[in-house]
Amino acid sequence: MRRGRHGTPAGEPRNVLADETEGYLLAHSHRHQAQREAEDLCARMAWLTTAQAEELTAHYVRGRLDVTRQLMHGTVRRADELRREYESRYAELRSALLRRHAAGACVVLACAAGVSALAGVLSR
């Protein structure tokens, strides 16, 4: 799975086709796994008729895909929440760092001015 879809580095284009293909393959994989599980379940129930087994398989696959869809939507929502929290925290830290650097620069300039003034006074 590829990382960093929301913020691609400068100069690197987002590949929407790759994202869609990855999503399709992931969905297909989940459907295939649900189908196998349903068929295994029906195989353990030897008394089911073919029609009943097909109906149970279809019902199981639909239910399983619904659960998977809900889990994925929940994961996407949580990822968005975390991204917003991290971006907010990053902005706070960056702002604090900028303030500290500005304060440090002011101190250095004040010291330089003081030393210059002291040197001027002492040289007279």
CB 43 within 8 A of CB 66: no
pLDDT confidence band for 1 (50 / 70 / 90): very low
Q: Using CA atoms in the order 75, 61, 28, 32, what is the torsion angle rounded to 10 degrees?
A: 120
- Residue-wise pLDDT for 29-77, tens only, equals 999 999 999 999 999 999 999 999 999 999 999 999 999 999 999 999 9
pLDDT at 110 over 90: yes
Give the separation between CA 57 and CA 52, rounded to whole angstroms. 8
pTM for this prediction? 0.62
Helix locations, the chain, DSSP H: 16-44, 50-122
**pLDDT (0 to 100) of residue 12:** 57
